[in-house]
Structure 1
């Protein structure tokens, strides 16, 4: 009897041990992915998003920093806005971009909600500009999407980029299962911005007045930046944006008389590469250095600008306008720091910064000419 009882006990213990080992070996129940977006809304996914619809004002560049094939995540996107920078950059590496369904164009209000629902996304990404374009109330289409069981997350790389870029990248990293990649870029981004802020804090420096001439390829003058967006870049880099003195919103127009009277210390023109006039001032993807230099020299010869001391004395520069839509804007801030305080930031190498972003982070590198200074004959890329 003792032997039989002992045998039963051993078998029972073995069964208990087997059950425990199977329990421990079984995969833990997957936890929901939960984030709080920039509007304070909770977003919940069962697993990392694999079918994303992008609003017009969320640049695919942000996903490109975190994911090796950002186009593979797209179930659809809205044309226009921030996404105008993407096809030229991504088409060569990801031809599938031309097959991404278009769900609408421009503002979120103009996008067909039914079209988005038909794409069956697991996530819709909108910028604050998409979602709150006309005030504090969210666009009504958001509630319709959520009623259909589609999660909507709001991020921002445009309206207040210095405040919103890092939390927006963390939100995206978590929602697509690329948190480590998000933290790696944030560390790089923070290191470069902290270097600028630290030097300006340690030195007593005069903040030069700066005229940011937005859309400088246009014949009419003078579009510029008010508070927010690139105004924050100018201030972080140690300058004072004269546009903020007159323009209440993010973008507006200054009179040529005001600009000439204010006579800023530094002139910075922004432009893109999609101008209708092939000879117009151009910067951006695939723009050759020679064309950028030639077109910028022509722009500075215009009668509206020649009277500025900044132009006459060689303190005139050009910058790719669409840096305002991508976290790669850290390069633009470094450029502004060098131009506004050339002695203090002479050691900053813009080419090296962009090369590191291209090699370490971007799935589709930024290749072209993205900045220029007066007198450059072959500006670096």
Structure 2
């Protein structure tokens, strides 16, 4: 047996520690590289600390993996899901009221000059904004191409158009670019486990098909906006339902006639709502009593009260902004219970939302987000 003198052992130990430190430093100094959902390579020298969010990128995704998502914002495009964020985050992050607005609800409204003046490390854009330009490094819309020409990296993600296919890769991309990979993987594991539970049970039981009509922004007087292929359609299918709107529409959202709805007479009716000064409302700050009363009033409308799903007590309300956030796993669980109550009686969407609030979200979602 060969023994190593104590002094030599100490020297070897110090050298090993030094080598490990050098390797760790080399990894820390290496550029961060990702391939975004447009197929483009995005490279950062270090994790982004100043971010601009585009018009169709909700702050919810960052809120799931970073303890101070508002502190990351160098600017954002107001409107869409981001129009709701101040109500959710203001109590914990009052600085949200002072985030510079660089545009409104569409990509065309975004000012490249305003973004360049903010000197962000990264601009996060949505597939919804860039899809009509194709994919690849030369396919960015002009405003985003100008940013890249000015040396500001742009990454394309998606939590809206194809949420089931794109939520996990988009979270991984963001986690890597802001140095929160561990947190991103933790939520992805939680999310994937719940989706797999529903998929496995549906595959094993093979329940009879049931149709669902999603009445988007149901408080509007003009009926009936609904979901076509893409976006919410994927959530409905994951829950074991057939999306009635996709039988007529070719876009992710559009309008069908009252006559079509009544003739189709779906098995399940789901109205989506957001916060509103009166009538049907769901979301942050909405009380259960207000949601229940508003929903009852909605169902008294003649075009809705005639539905078999209403008279048969298979009518439900859902917060519309679930479609913009990875927390849509709660919506999938709800849809599964509403479509197949006998198969998913033990699944508790309230417990799922509570766990998202306690384990992941920087500021919890509090209010009323669904109603029966």
Q: TM-score range by the shorter chain?
A: over 0.9
1:204 to partner: Cα distance: 2.5
1:129 to partner: Cα distance: 1.0
Does residue 1:102 correspond to 2:105, yes or no?
no
For residues 72 and 58 of structure 1, the distance between their equivalents in structure 2, rounded to whole angstroms, comes to 16
Equivalent residue, structure 2, for 1:260? 262
SS in 1 for 2:229: coil
For residues 191 and 202 of structure 1, the distance between their equivalents in structure 2, rounded to whole angstroms, comes to 16
For residues 17 and 199 of structure 2, the distance between their equivalents in structure 1, rounded to whole angstroms, comes to 55
1:279 to partner: Cα distance: 2.6
Equivalent residue, structure 2, for 1:50? 49
For residues 87 and 121 of structure 1, the distance between their equivalents in structure 2, rounded to whole angstroms, comes to 21
Structure 1: gaps (5+ residues)? 1-12, 374-381
Matched residue pairs, number? 356
Give the CA RMSD over aligned residues: 1.9
SS in 2 for 1:96: helix
Equivalent residue, structure 2, for 1:28? 25
Structure 2: gaps (5+ residues)? 1-7
Encode CA deviations 1:195-219: one digit per residue, 9 max, x unaligned: 1000100012111111110110001
1:23 to partner: Cα distance: 6.4
CA contact (8 A) 1:221 1:256 kept: yes
Q: Which has the larger radius of gyration?
A: 1
SS in 1 for 2:327: helix
For residues 22 and 302 of structure 1, the distance between their equivalents in structure 2, rounded to whole angstroms, comes to 73
1:106 to partner: Cα distance: 1.6
For residues 108 and 304 of structure 2, the distance between their equivalents in structure 1, rounded to whole angstroms, comes to 39
Equivalent residue, structure 2, for 1:309? 308
For residues 58 and 297 of structure 2, the distance between their equivalents in structure 1, rounded to whole angstroms, comes to 31
Encode CA deviations 1:265-316: one digit per residue, 9 max, x unaligned: 100000100x3xx331000001000000000000001111111000011000
1:104 to partner: Cα distance: 1.2
TM-score under structure 2 normalisation? Answer: 0.92
SS in 2 for 1:311: helix
CA contact (8 A) 1:132 1:139 kept: no
TM-score under structure 1 normalisation? Answer: 0.90
1:132 to partner: Cα distance: 2.5
1:84 to partner: Cα distance: 1.7
Equivalent residue, structure 2, for 1:377? none
Equivalent residue, structure 1, for 2:194? 192
Encode CA deviations 1:37-69: one digit per residue, 9 max, x unaligned: 111111111111000000011000000000000
